[in-house]
Structure 1
Amino acid sequence: MSIVVTGATGHLGRLVIEGLLAAHVPAGEIAAVVRDKEKAADLAERGLELRIADYDAPDTLRGVFAAGDRVLLISGSEVGRRVPQHRAVVDAAREAGVALLAYTGVLGGPDADFDLAAEHKVTEQLILDSGLPYTFLRNGWYHENYTEHLAPVLEHGAVVASAGEGRVASAARADYAAAAVAVLTGEGHEGRVYELSGDVAWSFAEYAAVVAAQSGKDISYANVPAEQHLAVLTGAGLPEALAAVLVDVDAAIARGRLAGTNGELARLIGRPTTGIAEAVSAAVSAALSAAVSASPKGWPPPVMSVSG
């Protein structure tokens, strides 16, 4: 029996693997499912078993799982293609007779009424129909959805969104990874559904204030109409289909769909979730370091200053 992590070289997958190792799961009992063997070379060097497969190629998934495996299906990142990708993984897991299939879905599950949730809802039903022992990890929003894109905020002095006064109970990606580790290494999680979110819900005005405090810059919240928000995102280079999904998420935030703070994530990981201020502080420091490296003279940074 192995603990199997799909999408193991992605951001969440790597954090889950680090969490398993930190929980003293022997490296030889962890299998990493990856598309690119070279990208996973460091995992192999640490003693993990690599299983090469592609969500888009069902034949490659045959033999990737074994009876008794505990499998974490990390949802694919390609919106619009995830249902057939996930179906291929579920079918392979069912044929192998895995002991547990844990799936990273989205907060709200079947009650989520925004476009991004559609493929997750179909996937959950596929898993239920498979008859496999399952755990649904319905992840809320990641801090990193915002903090990894601070450069334009710092450059233009504005957090641009179309979420009105809606609030977001986000948590760090590492918090959600810790929840997956708890399920994969613990007992009694079969048939459980976890609605996971951060301990504190924040508004975009509050987020802008935190960024301002951490960066020393004047940052405001620009709440714009959905059409203008879409134009901003496509103007920044996002494909229109993806931009439309993000604008739709902001509408869901305005309706309170990502504001729930039920405490399940903190209980599952045994500690409070990471606060947004801590995440912003780390992101601002990283942005500052990158700006210093990019500056011909090293200082001052070209688009920001930091105080405190």
Structure 2
Amino acid sequence: MIVISAASGALGRLVVDQLRTRAEVVAAVRDPGRAPEGVAVRRGDYDDPASLLEAFDGATRLLLISSPELDPARRIGHHLAAVAAAAKAGVGAIVYTSFLEADTVATGMTEAHHATEQAILRSGLPYTILRHPFYGEAFVPRISGGELTGSTGGRGLNTAFRSDLAEAAANVLTGEEHLGQAYDFTGPLWSHPEVAEALGVTYREVPDITPGPMSRLNAQVRAGAMEKQTPALEQVLGRPAETMVSRVLAQHPLGTSRA
């Protein structure tokens, strides 16, 4: 039996869909009324450790999808409660959706992931760590007035789409060869000028003058911080991962991209 935590979220639903015909699946969710249809449902609330213990009972595999909580202290609390519940419930193995560089960087956006990876190692449970890049869905370039604009300096991005990451998680959850592994997943490298060329539109670099999360991310891209590449995602998928160019072309077929 495979239990998927946070199964009502975007990634969780995709993993459940991947596993429906491959294994016995239980969706652990905070609100059972929002659970995916067609699978067994248990209440598993990161703020209620007792519910997690019940939700994880009997699991041969647990996919611990990271909490949506953004405050690092609360997120760490959620994850440590989940790891403790998994250990107490005696789950067969835990698979955790971490983030790139969480094994070496314990501050900033990787702080909670680093603490969680360490807790999993201390738990003694068999494990697999899936370190994700940023989700490609949040970075799909938009065409306006026949041009594509960006503030990335033409540098590369290693984003990956949730559908590929969900399929990779399902493959890990149903295979024995992944135990004890930590995978750094990256999507195929792409850039805004590359996408513009594929669409046949002009690319224009624009000043990044709006403060906020996206401005900070653009600065990271310009510094080359998102150009790391590994073969891990394609190896676990057993096929090439979806590219940003193919996703954008599907949304903007040639001939309509200048609209």
Percent identity of the aligned residues? Answer: 34
- Say yes or no: does 1:172 pair with 2:161: yes
1:154 to 131, 144, 147: 144
SS at match of 1:120: helix
1:139 to 126, 132, 152: 132
TM-score when scaled to structure 2?
Answer: 0.87
Q: Which residue of 1 aligns with 2:66?
A: 75
SS at match of 1:189: coil
Does the aligned pair in 2 maintain the 1:115–1:248 contact within 8 Å? no
Once the two structures are TM-superposed, the CA of residue 83 in structure 1 deviates from its matched residue by: 1.2
1:57 to 30, 42, 48: 48
Q: Distance in 1 between matches of 2:257 and 2:221?
A: 30
Relative to structure 1, the CA distance from residue 180 to residue 221 in structure 2 (aligned partners, 3 Å threshold; closer, same or farther) is farther
Once the two structures are TM-superposed, the CA of residue 276 in structure 1 deviates from its matched residue by: 0.9
Deviations 1:80-130 (A, max 9, x none): 132111112111111111111111111222335873222211211121122
Relative to structure 1, the CA distance from residue 73 to residue 83 in structure 2 (aligned partners, 3 Å threshold; closer, same or farther) is same
TM-score when scaled to structure 1?
Answer: 0.74
Does the aligned pair in 2 maintain the 1:172–1:279 contact within 8 Å? no
Does the aligned pair in 2 maintain the 1:32–1:50 contact within 8 Å? yes
Q: Which residue of 2 aligns with 1:273?
A: 241
Q: Distance in 1 between matches of 2:9 and 2:146?
A: 30
Relative to structure 1, the CA distance from residue 39 to residue 110 in structure 2 (aligned partners, 3 Å threshold; closer, same or farther) is same
Relative to structure 1, the CA distance from residue 30 to residue 268 in structure 2 (aligned partners, 3 Å threshold; closer, same or farther) is same
More helix by share: 1
Q: RMSD of the alignment, in Å?
A: 2.7
Q: Distance in 2 between matches of 1:169 and 1:119?
A: 21
SS at match of 2:56: coil
Q: Which residue of 2 aligns with 1:116?
A: 109
Q: Distance in 2 between matches of 1:282 and 1:55?
A: 37
Q: Which runs of 5+ in 2 are unaligned?
A: none
- Say yes or no: does 1:96 pair with 2:89: yes
2:25 to 30, 33, 36: 30
Does the aligned pair in 2 maintain the 1:113–1:252 contact within 8 Å? no
AA aligned opposite 1:129 = R
1:257 to 220, 225, 231: 225
AA aligned opposite 1:262 = T
Deviations 1:265-308 (A, max 9, x none): 101110001111121133447xxxxxxxxxxxxxxxxxxx5469
Q: Which residue of 1 aligns with 2:203?
A: 220
Once the two structures are TM-superposed, the CA of residue 19 in structure 1 deviates from its matched residue by: 1.0
Q: Which residue of 2 aligns with 1:182?
A: 171
Q: Distance in 1 between matches of 2:146 and 2:48?
A: 43
Once the two structures are TM-superposed, the CA of residue 140 in structure 1 deviates from its matched residue by: 1.4
Relative to structure 1, the CA distance from residue 111 to residue 223 in structure 2 (aligned partners, 3 Å threshold; closer, same or farther) is farther
- Say yes or no: does 1:205 pair with 2:193: yes
Q: Distance in 1 between matches of 2:98 and 2:172?
A: 14
Larger radius of gyration: 1
1:39 to 18, 31, 34: 34
SS at match of 1:89: helix
AA aligned opposite 2:156 = R
Relative to structure 1, the CA distance from residue 137 to residue 284 in structure 2 (aligned partners, 3 Å threshold; closer, same or farther) is same
Q: How many residues align?
A: 256
SS at match of 1:167: coil
Does the aligned pair in 1 maintain the 2:25–2:40 contact within 8 Å? yes
Q: Distance in 1 between matches of 2:157 and 2:106?
A: 16
Deviations 1:33-76 (A, max 9, x none): 11222222x52xx2x11011221222322211124520001112
Relative to structure 1, the CA distance from residue 255 to residue 110 in structure 2 (aligned partners, 3 Å threshold; closer, same or farther) is farther
Q: Distance in 2 between matches of 1:159 and 1:112?
A: 32
Does the aligned pair in 1 maintain the 2:102–2:110 contact within 8 Å? yes
Relative to structure 1, the CA distance from residue 158 to residue 102 in structure 2 (aligned partners, 3 Å threshold; closer, same or farther) is same
